[in-house]
Amino acid sequence: MSLGRLIAVATALLIAIACGALALGIGVVMDPVLRDLLGTLGLSGLEAVLSDLAEGYPPDPAMIEGALSLGRAILLLVAVPPALNAVVGEVLGWRALAWYGGATGLLTALLPWLMRGAGGPAGTGEGRVTALLFCAGGIAGLVYWLAAGRFAGRGPATMWAAPRR
């Protein structure tokens, strides 16, 4: 793999991860149940932090650790599936739209289930969250395919030629 291809893959992954995160954020805001949950948790937590800061107290370490854990979980959900599928697709030379969009969406949707040991549904909104994660992962995979995946496995001379049908 040439240096130019590595740069193209890295740039495409950054764009895909950003688009997946944006899709996840839009989905959470548009889903009424998740929006209400986020509003309840987010506003109460924000109010607690701001009131502590206003009174001169440092923020609660447990709240900071909780926010960092949530950030890590979101990063894991939006970054790992596109990166893993991009590596597999590049190594095997796969250029299929279904691989990048479908497999990335499926892996993103299954990741929470795999992390907790594939137990049954954790709550009533599990199906909504799974569908939202599938859509966000699918969007990230499709964006990666548009930017770099359709050229996977091609040599430097044919990378910018028209894709095979």
Would you state the pLDDT for residue 23?
A: 94
Write out pLDDT tens, residues 146-158: 988 777 766 554 4
H-type alpha helices, 31-124: 32-54, 61-92, 97-98, 104-115
Band of residue 134 on the pLDDT scale cut at 50, 70, 90: very high
Distance, in Å, from the CA atom of 138 to the CA atom of 23, rounded to the nearest integer, reads: 10
Distance, in Å, from the CA atom of 154 to the CA atom of 124, rounded to the nearest integer, reads: 46
Would you state the pLDDT for residue 162?
A: 56
Write out pLDDT tens, residues 93-117: 888 888 889 999 999 998 887 777 7
Contact present, 78 and 107 (Cβ < 8 Å): no
Contact present, 93 and 99 (Cβ < 8 Å): no
Determine the average pLDDT of the residues in 122-138.
Answer: 82
Contact present, 94 and 144 (Cβ < 8 Å): no
Flag whether pLDDT at 18 surpasses 90. Answer: yes
Write out pLDDT tens, residues 54-87: 787 776 777 777 778 878 888 888 899 999 998 8
Would you state the pLDDT for residue 157?
A: 46
Only one residue has tokens 């893993």, namely: 84
pTM of the model: 0.74
Report how far apart the first and last C-alpha atoms of the chain are (Å, whole number).
23
Would you state the pLDDT for residue 125?
A: 67
Q: Token digits for 162?
A: 């028209």
Q: Token digits for 142?
A: 């499709």
